[in-house]
Amino acid sequence: MNQLLLDVMTIPKDDPIAFTFFTGYMAMLAASVFFFFERGSVDEKWKISLLVSGLITGIAAVHYYYMRDYYVSTGSNPTALRYIDWTLTVPLMCVEFYLLLRPAGAKISFMWKLIGAAVLMLVTGYIGEAFVPLNADGTAAEGATSHSVMWGVISTIGYAYILYSAWFGEAKQLAANSNSTAVQSGIQALAWFVLVGWAIYPIGYMCMPGGWLNTGLGWQSANVDLFYNIADAVNKIGFGLVVYSIAKAESGKSTAKA
């Protein structure tokens, strides 16, 4: 049989990264089916939030399908596919914040500021990762560390903006104005995801050749995908479940009133 086909059909048993690509794919797919079906069980005004949750995991599922095969057949990081996925899904997470906070007075400019910060974070992260100077054998070349540090720091500015908004800034203030305790605690839960779940990504980034954890602790560039895969499952499915539980709680309320 064709070697490439054989590779994508076999998960090497000593490869935890391949394992997370396969389980990540299935988990994203299952989560999308769940969110799409559950749209029917919430009030009209919450349906769009569940649709967005399903789109986030659905877009990720399609990218995992390709990234998984790319990884298993080449053994290298599917950097471009990864960032295309994030460029679509992270702005949709910003849309989720906006949709939840719209009843509390969130303006469309609130959403665009979050999306702007996300785009800054991802474009500069991509430059840091995809264009790091490497030797022919894939090890860090001259200037690799300064390249990844510089772009990583600029990327962190975008991340810090979203983090600040969720914990102290506009998102936090809008949540405080909301008369729904479900929305308030939901935004608090999303703020924790941004603080803890999203922090896994820069850890992965620092494992690439020339990165601080690679040069400092000897963590391999293959670990980049291990961190990213775990973080994606936690954040994309977790975010969706928080939104789902707010929608459920709020839908229950209006049925009780009617």
Ligand X SMILES: *C/C=C(C)/C=C/C=C(C)/C=C/C1=C(C)CCCC1(C)C
Stretch that binds ligand X, among 28-36, 45-53, 168-176, 228-236 (CB under 6 A): 228-236
- Using CB under 6 A as the binding criterion, the count of chain residues that bind ligand X stands at 18
- Say how many Å lie between the first and final Cα of the chain, rounded: 63
Q: Could you tell me the smallest distance in angstroms from the CB atom of residue 154 to ligand X?
A: 9
Question: Residue 36 class from Cβ within 10 Å (0-12 exposed, 13-18 middle, 19+ buried)?
Answer: middle
Asked if 205 interacts with ligand X (CB under 6 A), we say yes
Return the residue of 87, 156, 173, 185 that touches ligand X, per CB under 6 A: 156
Scored b (16 or more CB within 10 A) or e, 179-215 reads ebebbbebbebbbebbeebbebbbbbbbbbbbbbbbe
Which is closer to ligand X, CB of 93 or CB of 104? Answer: 93
Q: Could you tell me the smallest distance in angstroms from the CB atom of residue 160 to ligand X?
A: 8
Q: Which residue is nearest to ligand X (CB)?
A: 125
> What part of residues 124-143 is at the interface with ligand X (CB under 6 A)?
125, 128
Asked if 224 interacts with ligand X (CB under 6 A), we say no
Return the residue of 46, 70, 97, 159 that touches ligand X, per CB under 6 A: 159
Residue 107 and residue 112: Cα distance in Å, rounded?
A: 9
How big is the CA angle at 57 (ends 51 and 60), to the nearest 5 degrees? Answer: 135
Residue 143 C-beta-side C-alpha neighbours within 13 Å: 8
Question: Residue 90 class from Cβ within 10 Å (0-12 exposed, 13-18 middle, 19+ buried)?
Answer: buried
Asked if 24 interacts with ligand X (CB under 6 A), we say no
Return the residue of 235, 240, 242, 251 that touches ligand X, per CB under 6 A: 235
Q: Could you tell me the smallest distance in angstroms from the CB atom of residue 106 to ligand X?
A: 20
Stretch that binds ligand X, among 16-24, 41-49, 151-159, 176-184 (CB under 6 A): 151-159
- At which residue do the structure tokens 């839960």 appear? 189
Residue 46 and residue 39: Cα distance in Å, rounded?
A: 8
Return the residue of 70, 86, 161, 227 that touches ligand X, per CB under 6 A: 86
Which is closer to ligand X, CB of 104 or CB of 147? Answer: 147
Asked if 227 interacts with ligand X (CB under 6 A), we say no
> What part of residues 105-124 is at the interface with ligand X (CB under 6 A)?
121-122
Residue from 110, 92, 119, 102 nearest 239 by CA: 92
Residue 34 in tokens? 């769940």
Contacts of 51 by beta carbon, 8 Å cutoff, 6+ apart: 35, 36, 39
- Give me the residues that bind ligand X (CB under 6 A), please: 86, 89-90, 121-122, 125, 128, 152, 155-156, 159, 198, 201-202, 205, 232, 235-236
